[in-house]
């Protein structure tokens, strides 16, 4: 019988980070995180999504010092508020028949 090798969490995380190294994939990933949030607030999931994208950009040396500082500030705000502002924005847009989209600039 052939043994099945199951990827470890570390290798999956490495794969995930490597898959987020294009602006298109990073935008799609964050957009999915925001869509998942509309099903019920999970600030830790959203924070983890931002961290994954930041980690991918750090690996490529494509994260400016300013972007790093802004990320750290956003992470603190999400940690403290539980993302209430973002969830309120998503809910309001939904009630208006609109949605938030993340696209490549």
The residue assigned the tokens 């600030």 is 43
CA–CA dist 83, 10 (Å, integer): 27
Cβ atoms of 52 and 75 closer than 8 Å: no
pLDDT, mean of residues 59-64: 94
70-93 pLDDT, tens digit each:
999 999 999 998 888 888 898 899
For residue 4, give both structure tokens.
């099945």
Beta carbons within 8 Å of 90's beta carbon, 6+ residues apart: 34, 37, 38, 99, 100
8-38 pLDDT, tens digit each:
556 888 899 999 999 999 999 999 888 876 5
């Amino acid at each position: 019988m052939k043994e099945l090798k199951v990827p470890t969490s570390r290798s999956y995380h490495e794969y995930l980070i490597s898959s987020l190294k294009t602006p298109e994939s990073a935008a799609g990933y964050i957009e999915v995180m925001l869509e998942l949030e509309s099903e019920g607030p999970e600030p830790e999931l959203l924070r983890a999504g931002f961290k994954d994208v930041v980690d991918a950009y750090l690996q490529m040396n494509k994260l400016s010092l300013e972007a790093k500082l802004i990320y750290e500030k956003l992470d603190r705000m999400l940690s403290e508020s539980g993302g209430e502002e973002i969830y309120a924005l998503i809910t309001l847009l939904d009630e208006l028949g609109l949605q938030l989209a993340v696209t490549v600039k």
